[in-house]
Amino acid sequence: QVQLVESGGGLVQAGGSLRLSCAVSGSIFSTNAMGWYRQAPGKQRELVAGFTRGGSTNYRDSVKGRFTISRDNAKNTVYLQMNSLKPEDTAVYYCNSYPMVSLIWGKGTLVTVSS
């Protein structure tokens, strides 16, 4: 069964940290080519960070130095460590393939950063 299950979101104060997890199942996904995306209220979904099959990482400018994407291939899990969180990081966070997203999305995990 093809599935993406995100977890780890919550309410945190500005400056705090959270670690998101994405459990990946199904042959169309590979933890070697996965990314994290987010969608804030009233805004389009955007890339946050991603792994390429070549092993490189890509981060949007606003999270560079604060967020770190990692993976555990044995557990088929991708993580997003988020430090120094800001209110503008508030969004529902999703994982999906990267750089080409699939049509399959999980339910996401809500991150709310209070000021």
> Residue length, the chain?
115
Any idea what the Cα angle at residue 11 is, between residues 7 and 14, rounded to 5°? 120
Residue 41's pLDDT band (boundaries 50, 70, 90)? very high
Residue 83's pLDDT band (boundaries 50, 70, 90)? very high
pLDDT at 81: 98
Work out the percent of the chain whose per-residue pLDDT is above 70: 100
pLDDT at 53: 77
pLDDT at 87: 97
- The pLDDT of 73-98, averaged and rounded, is 96
Q: Give the separation between CA 2 and CA 27, rounded to whole angstroms.
A: 7
**pLDDT at residue 31 greater than cutoff 80:** no
Tell me if residue 99 falls in helix, strand or coil. coil
- The pLDDT of 23-40, averaged and rounded, is 87
Return phi, psi of residue 50, to 5°: -155, 150
Residue 65's pLDDT band (boundaries 50, 70, 90)? very high
